[in-house]
Amino acid sequence: MTRTMPRRSARVLVLLAASGLALAGCASAAPASTVAADCTPADEGLTTFTAGTLTVGVPENPPYTETDGSGGASGIEIDIIKKLADAECLAVSYVPITYANGIPMITEQKKTDIITGGWYVTPKRAEQVGFTTPTMYDTMGVVSKDGIDTVDELETVGTVGTGTGFSWNEELAPLLGSKLQQYPGTVEMKQDLVAGRIQAALDGYAVAVAAYADTDYKVEPIQADPRVSITQTKPLIAFPVSKDNTALSDALSALIDQYRTDGTLADLLATYKLPADLLVPADVAATSIR
């Protein structure tokens, strides 16, 4: 079983679902940026849903992405998107999405060119959409007061919270038994951790770093353990795009690979206080599902 999406608050998802449905009836969102008249694109002849504009789906999942309520967005993946759009002389337009409607916004409603938010590359998902070359890994982040980072420590710390839908839940269940408590999202899990109802929380590493930045809790990447597969084979994260627009996917992938080699992606990881080893190396990226 593979985790199919980062988990967020159910309340936030419901609100965003309503926004997504409202947007489904619109031709496109207003561009959030402009392009200089003398701009020369890295690749000529690229086509997008709205000519001259890269329409980007944005869920609420910091530090990858979040909207600002006024048509803008921020996050590490938004920083990458802005660089890609600038290189291709495209304006950027942001559309709020959820993890439930994100892929249909590409495949069915055809309202976005690309979606953001830390999407895992999986064979099942690749049946519906294409992917750019991957940017970074995800891994399990362990949140605790004492810096726990091993499965052995999780077995003895007390009650451990985890988000519903994570790939590691099935493997941890027999190890932790009734001490493993599942939550609908990061917000609810954090509330119980701070209140002392659980003693550790498991989340996507980057999401946990952002969620607990305002606390004294420590977030540590889990150490390798053969009993939990994600500790040994980390998921790849990439941007889902239309399977039919291979020219756009190839052009953006070439730019991302350039950012991989010139240090741009490594610098962004550092900016968001994420470890350098989350960067997917070139040889792994070359074999990723596209």
Quote the CA–CA distance of 49 and 28 in Å, as a whole number. 9
pLDDT score of 20 more than 90: no
Confidence at residue 15, expressed as pLDDT on a 0 to 100 scale: 40
Query: Hunting for tokens 């399977």 — which residue is that?
Result: 243
Confidence at residue 33, expressed as pLDDT on a 0 to 100 scale: 82
Mean pLDDT of 18-22: 40
Quote the CA–CA distance of 165 and 6 in Å, as a whole number. 9
SS3 per residue for 187-235? HHHHHHHHHCCCCEEEEEHHHHHHHCCCCCCEEEECCCCCCCHHHCCCC
Confidence at residue 26, expressed as pLDDT on a 0 to 100 scale: 41
Q: Mean pLDDT across the chain, nearest whole number?
A: 90
pLDDT score of 117 more than 50: yes
Query: Hunting for tokens 């942001």 — which residue is that?
Result: 94
Quote the CA–CA distance of 3 and 122 in Å, as a whole number. 9
Instruction: Annotate 79-94 with b (16+ C-beta within 10 A) or e (fewer).
Output: bbbbbbbbbbbbbbbb
Contacts of 67 (CB under 8 A, 6+ apart): 58, 60, 73, 94, 96
Tokens describing residue 247: 């020219």
Tokens describing residue 209: 């770093």
| 216-229 confidence digits (pLDDT tens) | 999 999 999 999 99
| 73-107 confidence digits (pLDDT tens) | 999 999 999 999 999 999 999 999 998 899 999 99
> Within 37-158, where are the H helices?
76-87, 102-107, 123-126, 151-157
pLDDT score of 280 more than 90: yes
Task: Choose between 14 and 270: higher pLDDT.
Answer: 270
pLDDT above 90 covers a percentage of the chain that reads 84
Confidence at residue 167, expressed as pLDDT on a 0 to 100 scale: 85
Residue 29: pLDDT band (50, 70, 90) is low
